[in-house]
Chains A and B, each alone.
Chain A
């Protein structure tokens, strides 16, 4: 009896291992939506999904958190042709669009609009937004959760140092840093004037901000075709930036190695810092009432610079998994996320820039921006910047980021001079691009 019961329990356990859990089967068309947002933003996104499900009969959107591995999981599912366990929509970085185009599952937005019609047109997006998700002149994905590099500054600290406005150029920034840096009796820095570790994201912003023809690499930074070489070394933009940065390093008040930059700024260990506008909500909650803070466009390299910082962030990439009804439902939901009402909800929570022009015309958005001008800087920057100012599609993003980070650290540690740093960045990135083409072309 005892033995029989044990056997039943063992078999029940073994069976349960194979059953697992899977989404409930229903007559609804199920749209699988993979995302990377968590915390309060994740909760808000889930609320938007729930509202869509409640108001759209016959469709059920299943939002699944995938961390930053969503894009890799899509590629893995594609390599194994596992359509059953893939997704219909994935939030991926815009720089991964060329990789997504390699998958024949990827459904281009332009084609979807032709096939299923659309409630939103390309003209509804800001030009920078539309270009950020375009490749070869064609809109591939839907912009979503986009931000840009902005300058955060401690307004109280600036005021105490005698400044009533933030620095507009890097020359001015160097002067501010000297005045804002504080040291204790032993000479140890207790508050840095400026913090920004220059990695790929920061560097490409400073290249594209100089003029609308300044790209990090050829083929318009990889957006007109596959990037084959770095051009920032040829047109002088890289050298111009490094020369200005050199003056900042000289001040001794420039913190060029970042830990958690938003937290350090909120803790008051830096007076000015550059980081993504999407951190506005985070800074707001961290600073609280400790001090007055504000955002501004990044300081220009040269006073005559004509563009601004570039647009970065993510996009919604759609996949056709062989089911037209599912594809149509996914397309409808992706457009729903772009509605001004939903963009407003995401923007006020985070600092992400609304993707559609209609959002800033909403009365509640106007009111919010009036009360919280620090959230509006990024939108103003993007509207003022040339649409050509975009993050490059540089094919081997992670490797190029490592190469730039390494060279910039050596430059800031005085192991490389300006020309040496230009050569190191250009040579290492070109070598990586060559290797990529050798392996993939």
Chain B
């Protein structure tokens, strides 16, 4: 059996158009990528410059003689790794908790029918329109009453559940056919097993998205951890960046940028690691071998 191969001459205009579209699309993506990356790259470059070079009247893009002195000073004088540990713990607790609570709530809202289901879901969504600042005083009051000031539990308690994540996962779960759930039940698969062994593995891309966004949001949180901690040992890394930037005498842009570069690493690592999960999840089932 032979396969009919279209004539190159006939396909050429369409291919050319597709090639141009693809080139245009990729160029726009590259431009956007460069635009987004530029501040980060400049941050790293400034962190390698000496102070006189940074404040010179002629702006420099590249360090004349790259130096790690800013990193040495930041690491030596601020104890930044201890604060990174605090931030890491807070970010991990919040993101793991959000993935768990949001997926469980979304599971219930998607695969079960119960009284007031729509009302409860509307209430969950309703909490999204309340500005966090409005709740700050009451949240602080509750946290203090529970004796959680200066504890990791106090720093994370208001970030353990996210209605936006519940909404995101619920919408994703709705794309699955209910018959999968019903078939599993008929086969004797319980709810918990279905949830952990079927639903979650099938939803890795969206779970990775929720984890990454939760991690980055928690990692960057400044005000709440500052409000509920009154001892230096419990501070998060964002507070240290503020201290470096607000220093009245020797505010060093080089050191601020060095610290900013260091605290970018965990977020980048999380993104790089979980990006594979997103890709793997999207590709799973795409090709049957």
List residues of A whose CB falls within 8 A of some B CB.
16-23, 32, 36-42, 64-69, 73, 76, 79-80, 82, 84-85, 87, 190-191, 263, 266-269, 278-279, 281-282, 285-286, 288, 349-350
Q: Does B202 contact A (CB under 8 A)?
A: no
A269 to chain B, nearest CB (A): 5
Q: Which of A21, A40, A76, A267 contacts B247 (CB 8 A)?
A: A40
Determine the chain A residues whose CB is within 8 A of the CB of B227 once the complex forms: 69, 73, 76
Determine the chain B residues whose CB is within 8 A of the CB of A69 once the complex forms: 223, 226-227
Q: Are B148 and A64 in contact (CB under 8 A)?
A: no
Q: Which residue of A lies closest to B89 (CB)?
A: A17
B83 to chain A, nearest CB (A): 12
Q: Which of A17, A41, A82 contacts B152 (CB 8 A)?
A: A17
Binds A, one of B9-17, B136-144, B274-282: B136-144
Q: Does B187 contact A (CB under 8 A)?
A: no
Report the Cα distance A23→B233, complex, angstroms: 10
Determine the chain B residues whose CB is within 8 A of the CB of A16 once the complex forms: 152
Binds A, one of B208-216, B248-256, B265-273: B248-256
A29 to chain B, nearest CB (A): 17
Q: Which of B51, B57, B153 contacts A17 (CB 8 A)?
A: B153
Q: Which residue of B lies closest to A87 (CB)?
A: B230
Q: Which residue of A lies closest to B149 (CB)?
A: A85
A-facing residues in B112-164 (Cβ within 8 Å): 136-137, 140-141, 144, 148-154, 156
Q: Are B226 and A350 in contact (CB under 8 A)?
A: no
Q: Does B68 contact A (CB under 8 A)?
A: no
List residues of B whose CB falls within 8 A of some A CB.
51-52, 55-57, 93, 136-137, 140-141, 144, 148-154, 156, 223, 226-227, 230-235, 239, 242-244, 246-251, 253
Q: Are B248 and A37 in contact (CB under 8 A)?
A: yes
Determine the chain B residues whose CB is within 8 A of the CB of A80 once the complex forms: 137, 140-141, 144
* Total of A-B residue pairs, C-beta within 8 Å: 115
Q: Which of A19, A64, A268 contacts B57 (CB 8 A)?
A: A268
Q: Which of A64, A268, A278 contacts B232 (CB 8 A)?
A: A64
Q: Are A39 and B250 in contact (CB under 8 A)?
A: yes
Report the Cα distance A24→B251, complex, angstroms: 32
Q: Which residue of A lies closest to B154 (CB)?
A: A20
Report the Cα distance A38→B148, complex, angstroms: 27
Q: Are A21 and B137 in contact (CB under 8 A)?
A: no
Determine the chain A residues whose CB is within 8 A of the CB of B57 once the complex forms: 190-191, 267-269
Q: Which of A40, A64, A67, A279 contacts B242 (CB 8 A)?
A: A67
29 A–B contacts, CB within 8 A, in A order: A20-B150, A22-B150, A22-B231, A38-B248, A39-B244, A39-B249, A40-B250, A41-B247, A41-B248, A41-B249, A42-B247, A64-B231, A64-B232, A65-B235, A67-B239, A67-B242, A76-B227, A79-B137, A82-B141, A84-B144, A191-B57, A263-B253, A267-B57, A269-B57, A281-B248, A282-B248, A282-B250, A285-B250, A288-B52
Determine the chain A residues whose CB is within 8 A of the CB of B51 once the complex forms: 286
Q: Which residue of A lies closest to B222 (CB)?
A: A67
Report the Cα distance A64→B231, complex, angstroms: 6
Report the Cα distance A42→B246, complex, angstroms: 11
B179 to chain A, nearest CB (A): 35
Q: Which residue of A lies closest to B252 (CB)?
A: A39
Q: Are A40 and B55 in contact (CB under 8 A)?
A: no
Q: Are B250 and A67 in contact (CB under 8 A)?
A: no
Q: Are B249 and A285 in contact (CB under 8 A)?
A: yes
Q: Are A64 and B230 in contact (CB under 8 A)?
A: yes
A20 to chain B, nearest CB (A): 3
Determine the chain A residues whose CB is within 8 A of the CB of B149 once the complex forms: 82, 84-85
Q: Which residue of B lies closest to A145 (CB)?
A: B248
Q: Are B144 and A85 in contact (CB under 8 A)?
A: yes
Q: Are A267 and B55 in contact (CB under 8 A)?
A: yes
Determine the chain B residues whose CB is within 8 A of the CB of A38 once the complex forms: 243-244, 246-248
Q: Are B140 and A76 in contact (CB under 8 A)?
A: yes
Determine the chain A residues whose CB is within 8 A of the CB of B223 once the complex forms: 69
Q: Are A39 and B247 in contact (CB under 8 A)?
A: yes
Determine the chain B residues whose CB is within 8 A of the CB of A79 once the complex forms: 137, 141
Q: Which residue of A lies closest to B146 (CB)?
A: A18
Q: Are B230 and A32 in contact (CB under 8 A)?
A: yes
Q: Are B151 and A20 in contact (CB under 8 A)?
A: yes
Q: A18-B151, A76-B140 are in contact. Are A281 and B234 (CB under 8 A)?
A: no
Q: Are B141 and A65 in contact (CB under 8 A)?
A: no
Report the Cα distance A306→B94, complex, angstroms: 60
Q: Which of B152, B249, B251, B253 contacts A20 (CB 8 A)?
A: B152
Given contacts A67-B246, A281-B249, A282-B249, 13 further A-B contacts (CB under 8 A): A17-B156, A39-B244, A40-B250, A41-B249, A65-B232, A65-B243, A67-B239, A73-B227, A267-B56, A267-B57, A268-B57, A269-B57, A350-B248
Determine the chain A residues whose CB is within 8 A of the CB of B144 once the complex forms: 80, 82, 84-85
Determine the chain A residues whose CB is within 8 A of the CB of B137 once the complex forms: 76, 79-80
Report the Cα distance A190→B148, complex, angstroms: 55
Q: Which residue of B lies closest to A66 (CB)?
A: B226
A272 to chain B, nearest CB (A): 15
Determine the chain B residues whose CB is within 8 A of the CB of A67 once the complex forms: 226, 239, 242-243, 246
B157 to chain A, nearest CB (A): 9
Q: Are B249 and A36 in contact (CB under 8 A)?
A: no
Determine the chain A residues whose CB is within 8 A of the CB of B156 once the complex forms: 17
